Amino acid sequence: MSKVFEPSDSLILNDIMRYRRDVRGNRFIDKALLDETLEQILDAALLAPSVGYSQPWKFVVIQDESIKQQVFDSFCEETKHASTLFSGKKEQDYQQLKLEGIIEAPINIAVFYQPSQKPVLGQTSMAEMGKFSVVCAIQNMWLMARALNVGIGWVSIIDPQKVKEAVNAPQTSELIGYLCVGYVSEFLAEPELKQTGWNKQKHKQDIVFKNKF
């Protein structure tokens, strides 16, 4: 018999999704993450779907301050360049946002995709499916963290090559996500980039189509 979920279960899931936030360094608090909690978050990753059951993921749990510093240095370099891509008020707004929590979060997790040398079932027509499996694992972690009242922030303004060097990753692996993990002072009621007016929420009727665009 397959497990049957109750309507209340989907409401809880909806709440977990709705109250999940991207957490940056101004919200993490100085409190160590329990080992058991970290394991629950990693276990959620391993329950993600993967193309051809390939499980093409690797996770590096980082607490070493010198590694965090190397990643933070890469962020500083990349964000300096990035801010120049925006102009006028957007450039000012960009510079005022806190966009990572690498040092503040007690745990960082670098998540890699390790391509297979053999053909992978389901990945023969769409080569990116392996990477997408790793993203599903990250989203599982993000949701499980929120259900455990733990914050995660995904930092993408970094040079993947520098992160790979910092953690001694094989050249054949690809960095998919760099996560900052820890307890928080608060979860914002809404996404910060919505609250601050950086972008507006899109309406469902503008992004859902019936049969054809």
Q: Which of residues 135-164 bind a second copy (CB under 8 A)?
A: 135-136, 138-140, 142-144, 146-149, 154, 156-160
Q: Is 121 in the site for a second copy (CB under 8 A)?
A: yes
Q: Is 73 in the site for a second copy (CB under 8 A)?
A: no
Backbone angles phi, psi at 9, to 5 degrees: -65, -40
Q: Is 179 in the site for a second copy (CB under 8 A)?
A: no
28, 59, 72, 183: which one binds a second copy (CB under 8 A):
59
Q: How far apart are CA 41 and CA 35, in angstroms?
A: 10
Q: Is 5 in the site for a second copy (CB under 8 A)?
A: yes
33, 102, 181, 184: which one binds a second copy (CB under 8 A):
184
Q: For residues 152 and 179, is the Cβ–Cβ distance under 8 A?
A: yes
Q: Is 172 in the site for a second copy (CB under 8 A)?
A: no
Per-residue exposure over 74-107, b if at least 16 CB sit within 10 Å of its own CB, e if not: bbeebbeeebeeeeeeeeeebeeeebbbbebbbb
Q: Is 128 in the site for a second copy (CB under 8 A)?
A: yes
Q: Shortest approach of a second copy to residue 177 CB, angstroms?
A: 7
Instruction: Give the total of residues touching a second copy (CB under 8 A).
Output: 100
In this structure, what DSSP letter does residue 203 have?
A: P
69, 92, 172, 194: which one binds a second copy (CB under 8 A):
194
Q: Is 89 in the site for a second copy (CB under 8 A)?
A: no
In this structure, what DSSP letter does residue 204 have?
A: H
Q: Is 23 in the site for a second copy (CB under 8 A)?
A: no
Query: What tokens were used for 37?
Result: 């909690």
Q: How far apart are CA 160 and CA 131, in angstroms?
A: 14
Q: Is 70 in the site for a second copy (CB under 8 A)?
A: no
Q: How far apart are CA 138 and CA 144, in angstroms?
A: 10
